[in-house]
Structure 1
Amino acid sequence: MMFLLILFTSASLFSSSSNALDFCVGDLSAPQGPAGYSCKEGEAVTVKDFVFSGFRVAGNTSNVMKAAVTPAFSTQFPGVNGLDVSLARLDLAVGGRTAMHTHPEATEVLIIIQGTLCAGFISSTNKVYLTSLHEGDVMAFPQGLTHFQINVGKTPALAFASFSSTSPGIYFMDYAWFANDLPTQILQETTFLDSDQIKKLKELLGGIN
């Protein structure tokens, strides 16, 4: 009898533990740590946590880059918290582009839904991998490597990206250099650009000369 009681208790604990490990819907009211958000209590989780509807509407491309990124990371889509996957919608007006950037925490896979893009990345040995992407094409951008996309077609472009992290991070080179108050003289010394070019870029991207 005691053996059966122990067996039943162990099975119940195992079952509860397995269910608890199925997912960890992010509790967005709690701080986000290095491992993501803490888990919502089970009774607070609903199917809505696993649905994201933000891709229904095109992003606003009326900006200097003529581009818009709509993220579905753990902050916007709590159901992916802890699942090592997330998504984003990329809208590019004619002539639009994403500035040179990296995702420190994730590899990106991009699928082209509409339009034609010039896209590429630069390896750690400074080799350039550059191509044209058309509707239905898919391209991978390895984690941490500098990459970009440019709409070279005559119509707006649409693409969707998936990432191997719920919080891939993004680091824009141009904004890191010119959208701040780093002295022009320092930028001259470290980029070999002249002061007029630096001032123009700072003005364009919202930096302070």
Structure 2
Amino acid sequence: MEISPFFCLTIGLVLVFPAPSSLADPDLLQDFCVGDVNASITINGFPCKPASEVTPDDFFFDGLSREGNTSNQFGTGVTLGNVLSFPGLNTLGISMNRVDFAPGGLNPPHSHPRATESGIIIEGRLLVGFVTTGNVFYSKVLTAGQMFVVPKGLVHFQKNVGEGKALIFTAFNSQLPGAVILSTTLFGATPAIPNDVLTKAFQVEEDVINEMKAKFGP
């Protein structure tokens, strides 16, 4: 069978310039890029500090060594170890959080739009669950040493179901995973989401929405 020159050219272009969906993130072009979180320019991430200004402290972070404050309406304290508090993570695609729970404390339903989450229970007994886009709910009670994973973007929570305090460390494949907390996002947005939108979405009366906004509003 005779193969046309045009066919050969097309195959060659596909091999040299693959479809965008098959491309991976580029490799790092330098050893590190410590983020200048106070930079005046805006990019997808942070620009690098000049190498001459980088110090050993840029690669170490002790924020997760201290217990978080659980004296709040949820009974949890989340300590963030992302690029904003640990600029050495810039461009590396990883971060970690510490989550402390008072007895009965809840890390409320939320999602991370930019990352998959994995976590390990350090202390206590926690109910961990998430909901799929098909509205299927998966959950399990975990204890110290056990691990969980939440796929990227899915709504999930952790609740302390033990008698004492609880502690977990969570890891993300993003330097800044973001967090959308459903209750505070829907009822505490600024400017506020119109009441008629929320009453129809939740099929409740307006006084219920006003009560929720009073709890979670600014």
Q: TM-score range by the shorter chain?
A: 0.7 to 0.9
**Inter-partner Cα distance in structure 2 for 1:32 and 1:158:** 37
Aligned-pair distance for 1:186? 2.6
Q: Percent identity?
A: 39
Please list the CA deviations of residues 4-56 of structure 1 after superposition, one character each: whole Å capped at 9, or x if unmatched.
xxxxxxxxxxxxxx996111111122147453111111111111001011112
Match of 2:125 among 116, 120, 125: 116
Partner of 1:28 in structure 2?
37
Task: Tell me which amino acid in the other structure corresponds to 1:202.
Answer: K
Match of 2:198 among 163, 184, 187: 187
**Inter-partner Cα distance in structure 1 for 2:87 and 2:93:** 12
Indicate the RMSD between aligned Cα atoms, in angstroms.
1.9
**Inter-partner Cα distance in structure 2 for 1:144 and 1:19:** 26
Distance 1:24 1:59, change over 3 A: same
- SS of the residue corresponding to residue 184 of structure 2 reads helix
- SS of the residue corresponding to residue 49 of structure 1 reads helix
Match of 2:168 among 147, 150, 159: 159
- SS of the residue corresponding to residue 112 of structure 1 reads strand
- SS of the residue corresponding to residue 202 of structure 1 reads helix
Aligned-pair distance for 1:151? 0.7
CA contact (8 A) 1:95 1:150 kept: yes
Q: Please list every run of 5 or more consecutive structure 2 residues that lacks an aligned counterpart in the other structure.
A: 1-26
**Inter-partner Cα distance in structure 2 for 1:100 and 1:193:** 20
Task: Tell me which amino acid in the other structure corresponds to 1:127.
Answer: V
Aligned-pair distance for 1:104? 0.4
Q: Normalising by structure 2, report the TM-score.
A: 0.81
Q: Please list every run of 5 or more consecutive structure 1 residues that lacks an aligned counterpart in the other structure.
A: 1-17
Task: Tell me which amino acid in the other structure corresponds to 1:195.
Answer: E
Pairing 1:202–2:202 present: no
Match of 1:96 among 105, 116, 123: 105
- SS of the residue corresponding to residue 63 of structure 1 reads coil
**Inter-partner Cα distance in structure 1 for 2:121 and 2:168:** 4
Partner of 1:80 in structure 2?
89
Partner of 1:14 in structure 2?
none
Distance 1:138 1:50, change over 3 A: same
- SS of the residue corresponding to residue 129 of structure 1 reads strand
Aligned-pair distance for 1:129? 1.0
